[in-house]
Structure 1
Amino acid sequence: MLMGYPASELAWLALLIIAGGAVTGVLAGLFGIGGGGIIVPVLYEVFGLIHVPDDLRMQLCIGTSLAVIVPTTIRSYLAHKKKGAVIPEVMRLWSVFAVIAVVIGSWIASFAPGAVFKVAFVVFTIFISIKMLFIGDRWNVSNRLPGPALVALYGFIMGLVSSLVGVSGGAVSNAMLTLHGQPMQRAVATSAGIGVPITVVGAIGYAIAGWPHLAQLPPLSLGFISVIGFVLMAPVSSYTATYGVRLAHALPRRYLEIGFGLFLLAVSARFVLTLV
């Protein structure tokens, strides 16, 4: 027994987290995302079963998600970098402004109610699901990258979104790069790269932001980071990231995009119901 839960129930929860970690790694390599779109809803249900207060539940999910994604994004980025597809000038600008935005987002987590993060997550998942289901990579506004000012603005937006919904920013950066005519391989590789500073700084920020709330959080919480969730998910997701990279360079992704888009719509509906 732990916290009043029988060993069999805890074992099922552990299996669910591990399964989510495996899918997270594949998605990280395949789409250049850290998998927060899966980690956050999985952890939301897990933390609900152990009665984490609703006002802190989303923050704990997001902080843990960012921590879990750290090794996944590093592994995915290094695998893509070997193929020489990263856009260095974009990475330099994005890293600076994304980190500034992540610090702001982490500060917001220290005082904002859980509903703020649910709304942000719903908006994010609906945007990504619509893109995957109906738009894909067909739309673009230009055949070349924009100027430094707009690139920097994109970086800030990515950092703020990532810190409010618990993702690495890959889904947003993929959309931005493909809209400006960049090939999918370069977009995915660069997106994986920007996920490294976003998740590292975000995890540290959420650990600090959650420190005043430790009395209301589960045991083995490092601020808004669940050490149990990190230990179970991170190794699995990091290991499976390379399989996603192989798929990204070998298979058509349309069926996977449709499946992931429908999953995100279901997740959005779940969070909307909790807000009613």
Structure 2
Amino acid sequence: MEMIVEILPFVAMMLVTGLVGGILAGLLGVGGGIVIVPVLDTALGVYGVDPAIRMHIAVATSLACIILTSISSSRAHHAKGAVDFNLIKVWGPAVFVGSFIGSVAASSVDSQVLSAIFGIVALLVAIKMALPMDNVTLAADVPRGIAAPVPPLMIGGLSSMMGIGGGTLSVPVLTLMNQPIHRAVGTAALFGLLISIPGAVGFVVSGVGDSRLPPGSFGYVNLIGFALISPVTVWAAPIGAKIAHSLDKRHLSLLFGGFLFIVACRMIYRTLMV
């Protein structure tokens, strides 16, 4: 009975994480990882997991959860006609390769480095999305030819290192390339699947045999966290997608930017205080 009482706060935290992460996945096309990673990192700290691998577990578990969330979210956006499958064909292979490379690279760096990367990238994206830059573009369209693989490779690599579905990066990048934000959000949801699968596999392979891992781990993926979070995110993602298509472009950008700013500040604070 005492053990059950001790674990209840962890269970409650994971369920709430799944709910918020799922709604944001559908709302912003971010896969939910932008919520899952910092909450899991905090929960693992409360339960005494070694700080050296805490972020690795949070990132890996987030990527595993995003596999199911991305399917649910992208289906909801596809029903609204907001997934650009032509762009998926052009960028998809590079996103997939970049994600695997990023997960392997992340497994060899310190948790504080991952926290810093997460916070800095999220802060830059937050500033871009919150400012009145809806009509600011860097290109008339998505680049083709030799330059085409560069943006998706970077999006896939950084996203898997951060444990996010790709929307945090691909939504602002696509809007800067003159893509409508609702279509950018819908397409980003499907990119999440191409990021989460190779990313999660990379973290499983690199984490096998680590003696510091907590119970219920498969490589760096914590199966207990996955089992508690993923069903709730799958259920909640279509709710977020429905909300997204009821908002205008400016409100969606402001919501995205404001949320990212809060998360970025928290992660940067965590890095500086250690």
Please say whether Structure 1 and Structure 2 have the same fold, judged by a TM-score greater than 0.5. yes
Q: Which residue of 2 aligns with 1:38?
A: 35
Partner of 1:268: 267
Q: 1:274 to 1:228 in 2, by over 3 A?
A: farther
Q: What stretches of structure 2 of length at least 5 have no aligned partner? A: none
What is the number of residues matched between the two proteins?
Answer: 271
The 3-state SS of whatever aligns with 1:194 is: helix
Out of 40, 53, 56, the position equivalent to 2:53 is 56
Cα 1:51–1:151 change in 2 (3 A) is: same
Alpha-carbon displacement from aligned partner over 1:213-261 (angstroms, at most 9, x marks no partner) = 1x21101100010001000100001110001111111124356336413
Quote the Cα distance in structure 2 between the aligned partners of 1:97 and 1:66: 18
Q: Select which of 141, 144, 150 maps to 1:147.
A: 144
Task: Give the Cα separation in 1 of the matches to 2:273 and 2:202.
Answer: 26
Give the distance between the partners of 1:242 and 1:226, measured in 2 at CA. 25
Aligned twin of 2:234: 238
Aligned residue type for 1:180: M
Amino acid at match of 2:29: G
- The answer (yes or no) to whether the contact 1:109–1:209 under 8 Å persists in 2 is no
State the alpha-carbon separation in 1 of the partners of residues 207 and 268 from structure 2.
27
Q: 3-state DSSP class of the match of 1:212? A: coil
| 1:184 lines up with 2:209 in the alignment | no
Question: What SS does the corresponding residue of 2:164 show, helix, strand or coil?
Answer: coil
Give the C-alpha shift of residue 127 in structure 1: 1.6
**Separation (CA, whole Å) in 2 of partners of 1:109 and 1:52:** 18
**Is this contact kept in 2: 1:133–1:261, CA < 8 A?**
no
Partner of 1:74: 71
Which residue identity is paired with 1:228? Answer: I
CA contact under 8 A between 1:162 and 1:169: conserved in structure 2? yes
Residue identity in the other structure for 1:181: N
SS state at 2:140 partner: coil
CA apart distance, 1:113: 1.9
CA shift in 2, pair 1:21/1:45, >3 Å: same
Question: In the alignment, is the contact (CA less than 8 A) between 1:203 and 1:225 conserved in 2?
Answer: yes
The AA in structure 1 aligned to 2:269 is R
Residue aligning to 1:249: 245
In the alignment, residue 113 of structure 1 is paired with which amino acid?
D
Aligned match of 1:88 in 64, 85, 88?
85
Change (3 A) 1:180 1:222: same
Q: Which runs of 5+ in 1 are unaligned?
A: none
Q: What RMSD over aligned residues (CA atoms) do the two structures have, in Å?
A: 1.9
**Displaced runs of 4+ in structure 1, greater than 6 A?**
none
- For 1:119-157, what per-residue CA distance to the aligned partner results, in whole angstroms no more than 9, with x for missing partners? 211212212221233256342123322224333111100
8 Å contact from structure 2 (residues 116, 268) kept in 1: no
Q: Aligned equivalents of 1:64 and 1:222: distance in 2?
A: 10
Q: Deviations over 1:95-116 (max 9, x none)?
A: 2111211221222233222222
The one-letter amino acid paired with 2:242 is R
